[in-house]
Amino acid sequence: MVDFIQNCLDGVMVGSSYALLAIGFTLIFGVMRRLNLSYGPSIMLGAFVGTLVYLEFQMGGFAVAVATVIGAVLAGIYVERLCFWAIRQGAAVASMVSSFAIWMQLEEIVTVFFPERTYPFPPLADRTAIEIGPFFLKLENLIMFACAAGLTVLLQVLLYRTRFGLALRAVSENPRAARFMGINIGRVTFWAFALASALGGVAAYLIIGTDAQITPLFGLWATFKGLIAMMLGGMGSIPGAILGGLLLGVVEAQSTWYLGTEYRDLAAYALLFLFLVFRPGGLMGQVAAERERAALRRV
Amino acid sequence: MLEVRGLQVRYGKVRAVQDVTLDVAAGEIVALIGANGAGKSSTMHAICGIERPAAGQIRFQGQDITRLPAYRILRQGIAQVPEGRLIFGGLTIEENLRLGAHGAAQRSGGVDMAAVLELFPALAERLDERASVLSGGQAQMLALARGLMANPKLLLLDEPSLGLAPVAVQEVFRLIQSLRDRGVTILLVEQNVRQALSVADRGYVLEGGRIILEGRADTLVRDEHLVSAYMGLKPAATAG
């Protein structure tokens, strides 16, 4: 029982970073109804900008974090202009396929400038752990969780207390109605991409800081984790993205402990499979699916 | 105030609007009448920038707005209450109203929500509720209130009585009447021809994407062609 609870604690803390990735996917999917496969690779590029700052200028944690976020936002905007803005009149699948092409391009760019596969990254914290009763909480996990939780609260304030947040929610719910309100859809989409990329940049900094090293494969990894967490939670729902991320973290932690590391990803895919068969809308997706149907009725 | 000249709107190869020329003067209520598919909504969408005209010119207060994007046109002072209401069901009533003022906020001031709510006492009590709980008639009232939040100089109303119960239809037209008393200029699209002409000053009849008839509302009501073509349909037949 102690093991089980310990795994849940670890899972929730690691899962908080998956939640950030899933929120990023959800924000973009919400305003565009299009999938951005290049989300992971664009924040990977940001993390390599962070590595560059770390290696070239010997700067510490905060500067690296800022560089990572700026790099991720610039890469995200690049993807938005090329794969989404430029072909906004075209089919949704065209955006998805071109975002896949840009994925390959971003990976190649990084490989050209960083020819060795692995590079060091400033560690998030030293390897201390805090003991609470029978449980151990790693300092780096605590930092990760605190940052993710803080950002989620900030995002909530942004979405529910600001003019931009209201416009973003309106576009997510019904883009056509939003145009009648005089909302500049292009601008809202642009900033939603920037916001999602910034969140992804922070997530990348936290995750890679825990490993203290980075490879170009991080892009693939981040797209997988974010997509799975989003689908578990339900496409287009931010509370769903948070729950999906935490659930994914816990399932990974449990399967690592009870089945072994080699079964960790298998367990995650099995979970996704079960969800797709028995609850395709995800945890919170029924709500979003209802809304989608209602929106269709209105047309 | 509004001048539309030789307007043409296409969807691919289909020409929804062939050639529409119309004027709306300040303080007027003008009705745009026609059967389904006559091009009424397409005309409205072109005026507010949701659709881009294929040909023709639209001028508002002397300025060419033909190719401006929708959010710029709204800033000039043209708001539209769209057909089917397009309420944001997942947002609260207050949020819906605030969205109405969104586009106009960059223009001088916008409008006080309390002033708009004076016209809609039923909404004022339910600001924190989700808009999806509203009935059809209430949702139409919210859509109208949301349109007024933009403090428009010209208000475009697209089928405001569509799908409403007779009581709600009466309420909508009473409201249009009271807006006229406040000096709001209105371009009204309606299938409910008799009702529309009863509040309007002038009317245009659209058929096959062209204006086939225009005149003062009280003359149009007596027009034989119009009576036989559209008024045989009782309003109740389209209500649902």
Q: Is the pLDDT of residue B54 over 90?
A: yes
Q: Is the pLDDT of residue B194 over 90?
A: no
User: Min CA distance, B36 vs chain A (Å)?
Assistant: 16
User: Min CA distance, A177 vs chain B (Å)?
Assistant: 5
For A217-258, write each residue's pLDDT tens digit.
Answer: 999 999 999 999 999 998 888 999 999 999 999 999 999 999
Does A124 contact B at CB distance below 8 Å?
A: no
Does B46 contact A at CB distance below 8 Å?
A: no
Answer yes or no: do B87 and A176 touch at CB < 8 A: no
- pLDDT at residue A88, rounded to an integer: 87
- pLDDT at residue A288, rounded to an integer: 57
H or E segment and range at residue A44: helix A39-57
Answer yes or no: do B69 and A184 touch at CB < 8 A: yes
Q: Which residues pair with A132 in a beta bridge?
A: A135
Answer yes or no: do A177 and B132 touch at CB < 8 A: no
Q: Which residues pair with B24 in a beta bridge?
A: B2
H or E segment and range at residue B202: strand B202-207
CB B208 within 8 Å of CB B215 = no
Residue from the list B50, B75, B89 with its beta carbon closest to the beta carbon of A180: B50
Reported as a pLDDT band with limits 50, 70 and 90, residue B237 is: very low
Reported as a pLDDT band with limits 50, 70 and 90, residue B181 is: confident
Nearest residue of A to residue B74, measured between CA atoms? A182
Q: Note down the domain range covering A167.
A: 2-298
- pLDDT at residue B40, rounded to an integer: 92
Which chain A residues are within 8 Å of B71, Cβ to Cβ?
179, 182-184
Exposure b/e, B165-178, CB count within 10 A at least 16 = b: eeebbebbbebbee
Which among B97, B99, B155, B162 is the top mutation candidate for probing chain A, defined by the most A β-carbons within 10 Å of its own β-carbon? B99
CB A12 within 8 Å of CB A145 = yes
Residue from the list B74, B86, B150 with its beta carbon closest to the beta carbon of A177: B86
What average pLDDT score do residues B68-96 get? 94
Q: Is the pLDDT of residue B37 over 70?
A: yes
- pLDDT at residue A237, rounded to an integer: 87
Answer yes or no: do B132 and A166 touch at CB < 8 A: no
Token digits of residue B222? 């007596």
Residue from the list B69, B86, B98 with its beta carbon closest to the beta carbon of A180: B86
- pLDDT at residue A18, rounded to an integer: 96
Q: Is the pLDDT of residue B63 over 70?
A: yes
Which chain A residues are within 8 Å of B95, Cβ to Cβ?
166, 169
Q: Is the pLDDT of residue B235 over 80?
A: no
For residue B51, how many C-alpha atoms fall within 13 Å in the half-sphere facing its CB? 23
Does A162 contact B at CB distance below 8 Å?
A: no
C-alpha span between B158 and B34 (Å, rounded): 12
C-alpha span between A289 and B224 (Å, rounded): 49
Q: Is B107 helix (H, G, I), strand (E, B) or coil?
A: coil
Nearest residue of A to residue B100, measured between CA atoms? A181
CB A36 within 8 Å of CB A83 = yes
Strands B29-34 and B202-207: parallel
Token digits of residue A242? 């948070």
How many domains is chain A partitioned into structurally? 1
Answer yes or no: do A177 and B88 touch at CB < 8 A: yes
User: Min CA distance, A57 vs chain B (Å)?
Assistant: 44
Q: What is the CA radius of gyration of chain A?
A: 19
- pLDDT at residue B107, rounded to an integer: 52
C-alpha span between A247 and A43 (Å, rounded): 23
Q: Is the pLDDT of residue B70 over 90?
A: yes
- pLDDT at residue A299, rounded to an integer: 42
- pLDDT at residue A297, rounded to an integer: 57
Reported as a pLDDT band with limits 50, 70 and 90, residue B147 is: very high
Q: How far apart are the first and last CA of chain B?
A: 35
Does A176 contact B at CB distance below 8 Å?
A: yes
For A87-133, write each residue's pLDDT tens digit.
Answer: 888 888 999 999 999 999 999 999 999 999 899 999 988 888 898 88
State the CATH number of the domain containing residue A174.
1.10.3470
User: Min CA distance, B219 vs chain A (Å)?
Assistant: 33
What average pLDDT score do residues B206-216 get? 91
A176 phi, psi to nearest 5 deg: -65, -45
As a whole-number percent, the residues of chain A with pLDDT over 90 amount to: 79
The low-confidence residues of chain A, meaning pLDDT below 70, are: 286-299
ipTM of predicted assembly, 2 dp:
0.89
Which chain B residues are within 8 Å of A169, Cβ to Cβ?
88, 90-91, 95
Q: Is the pLDDT of residue B8 over 90?
A: yes
Q: Is the pLDDT of residue B234 over 70?
A: no
C-alpha span between B98 and A112 (Å, rounded): 50
C-alpha span between B186 and A297 (Å, rounded): 27
Neighbours of A61 (CB within 10 A): 15
Q: Is the pTM of this model over 0.80?
A: yes
CB A143 within 8 Å of CB A124 = yes
C-alpha span between B213 and B38 (Å, rounded): 13
A181 phi, psi to nearest 5 deg: -80, 0
C-alpha span between B74 and A182 (Å, rounded): 6
Nearest residue of A to residue B73, measured between CA atoms? A182
Q: Is the pLDDT of residue B225 over 90?
A: no
What average pLDDT score do residues B190-203 get? 90
- pLDDT at residue A280, rounded to an integer: 85
CA A170 to chain centre: 22
User: Min CA distance, B203 vs chain A (Å)?
Assistant: 24
Which chain A residues are within 8 Å of B132, Cβ to Cβ?
294
Answer yes or no: do A173 and B88 touch at CB < 8 A: yes
User: Min CA distance, A180 vs chain B (Å)?
Assistant: 7
CB B57 within 8 Å of CB A187 = no
B window 64-93, beta carbon within 8 A of A: 69-71, 73-75, 79-80, 82, 84-91
